[in-house]
Amino acid sequence: MKEQKILISACLIGENVKYDGGHNAISSEIIHRWKEEGLLVPLCPEVLGGLSVPRPTCEVIKGTNKVICKTGEDVSLAFEKGATESLKIAKEEGVCMAILKARSPSCGKDVIYDGTFTSTKVEDSGITCKLLQESGIPVFSEEELALAYAFWKSKGN
Ligand code: SF4
């Protein structure tokens, strides 16, 4: 059986798409193997939404889907577009799950910052993470790689 693909935050595999122009590359044997086998589908929702690299830091206003930059600009529409484009790619590629960067306003799962730019965390997920989950795509953070691998194996891969 052909092994199933995995959506991944592009910054986690070293692509320089972070707000500051850098990346969040992780050193992991399984990520390396998946990459070598062509199973990873890397994307950056914020870039897909039309935002630049570098760009100001942004946070989701607690309890809403409104996203603002530290500069005060409302970037909710760009985040929404990035999420819908990410979902579209996920479906086209037939991914069985996503591995997304923890605490990002787009990619974060379960914990993000609260929109006050004071490093205050809140129980919520980023805009893309939420849309993928609502659409039935399981999401894991890069801090849950063992769980993600076990899930991928459980799908017959
Ligand atoms: S939006 Fe996601 S993929 Fe893009 S830089 Fe932020 S965490 Fe990484």
- Which tokens belong to 143? 């801090």
The per-residue pLDDT for 1 is 67
Domain count, the chain: 1
The answer to whether position 72 is within a domain reads yes
Atom 5 of ligand 1: nearest residue by CA position: 18
- Closest by CA to 95, choosing from 130, 132, 145, is 132
**Domain of residue 73, residue span:** 6-154
The answer to whether position 1 is within a domain reads no
The per-residue pLDDT for 2 is 85
The answer to whether position 115 is within a domain reads yes
Q: What is the mean pLDDT of each run of 10 residues along the chain (157 residues)?
A: 93 98 97 97 98 98 97 97 98 98 98 98 98 98 98 96
Residues 6+ apart with CB under 8 A from 60: 66, 67, 79, 105, 112, 113, 114, 115, 124, 126, 127
The answer to whether position 111 is within a domain reads yes
- The ligand 1 atom nearest the CA atom of 43: 3
The answer to whether position 59 is within a domain reads yes
Ligand 1 neighbourhood includes 105 CB (under 6 angstroms)? no
CB-count exposure of residue 126 (10 Å: 0-12, 13-18, 19+): buried
Measured in Å, residue 80 CA sits from the centre of ligand 1 at 14
pTM for this model (two decimals)? 0.97
